[in-house]
Amino acid sequence: MDHQASEELVISSDKSRLDRALIHAVLAAAYWSKGIPRDVVERAIEGSLCFGAYKGGAQIGFARVITDQATFAYLADVFIVEAEQRKGYGKALMAHVSEALGQLRLRRTLLATADAHGLYRQFGFTPLEKPERFMEINVKDIYQQGKTGTS
């Protein structure tokens, strides 16, 4: 499904259009996935609902949703390349993702962010209502601990 967000931005959930080298390069440098191996990015894409943002045919943004498409989703790996930031593309990408998730009528959608609370708040995200109910396993620096793929 393609969505024209503006005259120059196209958002698509067609995985065959994704620039996987670009996605890997951005994620490998991002604070949340520093050093992530390419094979892990590939597996993540294959197991997720993905959205690419394209300007002039070139990919400039990405968002990934891990979901059962019935009750739950986790929004991850949202980015707009640095050269295209602060032009409204992140908001357009999130509007498209939000609309797609809204159609699924999910009970809960989560995300984690260190610096984009303002963006996500515009789409209904709030702090956890009952954080004491949530637990996690968090393997810090997993991508620096050696090969994570299967052989």
- Print the domain residue range for 82: 2-144
pLDDT at 150 (0 to 100): 47
Instruction: Place 6 in a pLDDT band, splitting at 50, 70 and 90.
Output: very low
For residue 105, the domain's CATH number is 3.40.630.30
Is 150 a domain residue?
A: no
Is 151 a domain residue?
A: no
Is 149 a domain residue?
A: no
Is 96 a domain residue?
A: yes
Give the Cα separation of 142 and 74 in Å (integer): 20
Give residue-wise pLDDT tens across range 111-151. Answer: 999 999 999 999 999 999 999 999 999 998 888 876 544 44
Give residue-wise pLDDT tens across range 57-83. Answer: 999 999 999 999 999 999 999 999 999
**Domain total of the chain:** 1
Is 79 a domain residue?
A: yes
Q: Residue 36 class from Cβ within 10 Å (0-12 exposed, 13-18 middle, 19+ buried)?
A: buried
Is 68 a domain residue?
A: yes
Is 66 a domain residue?
A: yes
